[in-house]
Every structure is written in C-alpha cells, then in structure tokens.
Amino acid sequence: MAAPMNNMRMSLEDLIIRLYDVQAVKFGTFKLKSGIESPVYIDLRVIVSYPEILVRVSEYLWDASQNCSNNFKSLCGVPYTALPLATCIATKHHMPMLIRRKEAKDYGTKRMIEGHYEPGERCLVVEDVVTSGSSVLETAQALKTADIDVRDAVVLLDREQGGAQMLKSEGIHLHSVCTLSKMLDVLQTSERLSGPDIERVREFIAENKFNAMSGIKRNGSGDTHCSHKKAKKVHNYADRASLCTNPVSKQLLQIMETKKSNLAVSADLTSCGEVLELVNRVGPHVCLVKTHVDILEDFTPEFTKRLTELAQKHNFLIFEDRKFADIGSTVLNQYSGGMYRISDWANITNAHSVPGEGVIQGLKQVGLSKNRACVLIAEMSSTGNLAKGDYSSATVKMAEEHSDFVIGFICQSRLTSDPSLLHMTPGVQLTEGQDSLGQNYITPTEVITNRGSDIIIVGRGITKATDPAEAARQYQEAGYRAYLAQFE
C-alpha cells in the first residue's frame, strides 16, 4: 500500500532530492542513442510509480503556468512522459485537457488531437524536461495544425542547453520550475553529489549548448542533446551544388537553396486531374514532386506534358518512383518505352540494387544522354523490410561507382559523407507513428537534423490534409528549419 500523502507542501529542494533518490535523475557515464557519453541521465517516467512525487511535480508546473501572460483555455502534455503530469493538473484545477496522438487511428475520426476544443483557442504545452525544445515544438506544431494556438509551455527541468531560446524564436515562451544548475546546487549541498561529479556535468552542459542553428542528437528517452564531438563540416545547398557534376543533382540543390525547401511531395493519387490539381497547389513549397504513374487510372501522355509545365511554373523537379528491379536489358525498355516513356519526362527515377549493377547500366544507357538521374533504394521505412546492413553498404558502393548517373539514395539516414550524393527519406509526418500497414512515420527534425538526411518525402500528411497547400507550407518550414539546425 502506498504511503499516505503528506499534506504539507514539499519544498523544491526536497523534491529534487526525492527525484534523485528514486533515480529519476542519475549521474555517472551513460551512452546515449546518439553514441555520445553523458554524465547525467534524466528519466522522469519513473515518477508514475511514486504518486506523491507525481502530484508535487504537477503542482509546481501549475504554479509555473501562472506566470504566463497569455490566457490559455486548455493544456496538452507532450507524449508520453508528460501525459500523467498534464492529467494531474487538469483534474486538480478543472482545466480542459487535450491529447496529442503520436499516430493517427486508421478508423473513426482519425484525429491527431483528441478532446474538445474551439478553433483558435489557446493551449498550454506541458513537458518534463527540455534540452533542445524539439519535443515541445513538435507538439505545438501538431496543435497548430488543428488550429489551436500555442504561446507558452511549462517544464519541470530546463537543462539550460538552448531549448528556451529556440522555443522563443518560434514564438513560444518557456516557463521552467527548475534548471539543471539549481538541481546540481541542491544535490551538492545535500551531499548527494561530490565536487568532481558536479564539474563533469557543468562542463558537459557548457560544451553542448546550442542555438537555433546547431546540430541536435536524440537519446533513447526522447530527450535531445547536442553532440559534444567535433561536428563534421556541413555544406549548405549552394556549396554542394557547386560540387556536383551531375546536372540533375546540381539543379535540385539550387532549387532547394532558392526556394528554401527540402520537401518532396508524394502525389500518390489515382486520377490525373487530382494529381495535377494537388501539384499546382503545393508546387510553390516543394523541390520535388514524386509520382507513381502506374497507379493512375486515366493516364494519357497529356498528363506528363501538363506535369512538366507545372514543374517549370513552380520550379521543381519530377521524380517517378518506379523502383526498377530487373536485369539491364529489361529496365532499359521499361524506362525508355511502353506507354509511360518515363525517361522523356522524369528528371529522376529510382531502382533497387538487388539485380546488381546491370540495373544501373540499363537505366544509364537511356538516361545519361537525356540529363536524367537515378537514386538507389538503400533503406526503406516499412516494418520488416530487408533493405539494411550489408545490402545498404553494397548499395552505397554501387552509387559511388556510378556517380555520373546515380545522385543519391532512398534511405532512413545519411549513409555517406560525400556532399554530392543526396539522401531522401520517405515516411515523414509532423508527428511520429505507424499506420495499419506497417509504414513508420518520423518527423522532419528527426530526419534532417538528427539523421542527416537531405530531403523529406511526405505523402498522406499533405494529400489527406484539408488544405494541402497549407500543410505543404508547414512541412516546408519544418524541413528547412531542421536543415538550418545542422549549422553552428
């Protein structure tokens, strides 16, 4: 049976000590998901097993929310650690609560935000720990997509590594209960930590500060950290364009620089009219339009003519997602002939490397003279796929050996440091999750900033949106912001 709750309010100092005692805060040497070693590890999920601590933390968060200059009508906890905290606040103070889903249901309302709300209402975001602020921002973006206004966020612990500044640059004011420096002071005074341990953590914090232009790494608990290793040089789009010898990769990077966009829309609709209408609406926000021409039920050559005209109008390239996977002589004919004549209108196509180099040679024989290019499928986003490990390594080697025609990869993360090779990642939405058919979704921040990819490929997040143009704008901004975050 749980111990009865003490009615006297727990001081912040006592709360910090209790968090340490239940190992919600640990000090030592911890390898994070990013591979770097950290002297401090914070995991507040454990407090759900300590009701008294859970309640006290929620009360301090509520107190911090009273400093908000903007009147909020509801609150939303960042999934998943902050959900019980938000629930405690909501029940104690009779405050309406919203829940942000990490994935949409494939039945019912299919909503990403659960709960009752009015368009334009103001919502307070609740979080446990902030390092970069990216988790708060992702929740805020999901709320804003549902026409919910976010101006403030409350957090128990600010690690003082730049998260508050980043959120401020996005128009969100962070109100923290405690800083990591305060926590260190309390633990040193209470003799929980020694002087050398304190200095290790302070040094780590100082070396891992970042701003809106710095790189971010994510650890296993959902917290984020900047790598304290010396970062490799990140080339901007314009510099990379100057390093490319293939005219397609050069043009694509120039478009990305000019339009400030790393967004590719996957126009997977089944009628020509629907595709053309969608492309005309989202065209100003994208660098690539990806098609599956063989799913069109009313295809005629007029479709590709009009698509090419839209590409010129809105300054984007066309990527036919054909996934060639046969011997060279067969793909040569599939690429150049048939009813689709892909090589005549698609700037880029793609291929599996399973058949070996012959598939590249067959495509190259047609495409090279037409200033076309190919990307190889090195990794996939579906559950249980076999494109990984040795397969991915062999695919990279093939690309490097055919760099006159192969300009990059379909992948889940950066596979090579060669700045002339582009990395394109599908399965991107503003919130993480999985659909009913095993498609895994990851966020623009995870794809571009954390995994080092170059282009986000978005399908249903745009095609199923009520306003595809507005959705494309949001993805464009999120993707470009994630790109900027790679630079010191």
Bridge partner list, 150 = 123
Question: In this structure, what are the phi and psi dihedrals at residue 231, rounded to the nearest 5 degrees?
Answer: -75, 145
CB neighbour burial string for 59-93, b if at least 16 within 10 angstroms, e if fewer: bbbbebbeebeeebbbbbbbbebbbbbbbbbbeee
Q: Which residues, 6+ apart, have CB-to-CB distance to 353 below 8 Å?
A: 359, 360, 376, 377, 378, 391, 394, 395, 398
Bridge partner list, 320 = 291, 349
Give the distance, in angstroms, between the CA of residue 67 and the centroid of all CA atoms in the same chain: 30
Question: For the chain, what percentages of helix, strand and coil (3-state, to nearest 5) are there?
Answer: 40, 20, 40
323 is catalytic: yes
- DSSP state, residue 31: E
Cα distance from N-terminal residue to C-terminal residue, the chain: 52
- Minimal CA–CA distance to 55: which of 20, 24, 13, 15? 15
What distance in Å separates the CA atoms of residue 440 and residue 383, rounded to the nearest whole number?
7
Give the distance, in angstroms, between the CA of residue 283 and the centroid of all CA atoms in the same chain: 21
Q: Which of 14, 197, 268, 326 is catalytic?
A: 326
Q: Which of 305, 323, 370, 397 is catalytic?
A: 323
* 3-class secondary structure per residue, 153-195: EEEEEECCCCHHHHHHHCCCEEEEEEEHHHHHHHHHHCCCCCH
326 is catalytic: yes
Q: And the tokens for 439?
A: 């498609």
What distance in Å separates the CA atoms of residue 483 and residue 478, rounded to the nearest whole number?
9
Indicate which residues carry an active-site annotation.
323, 326
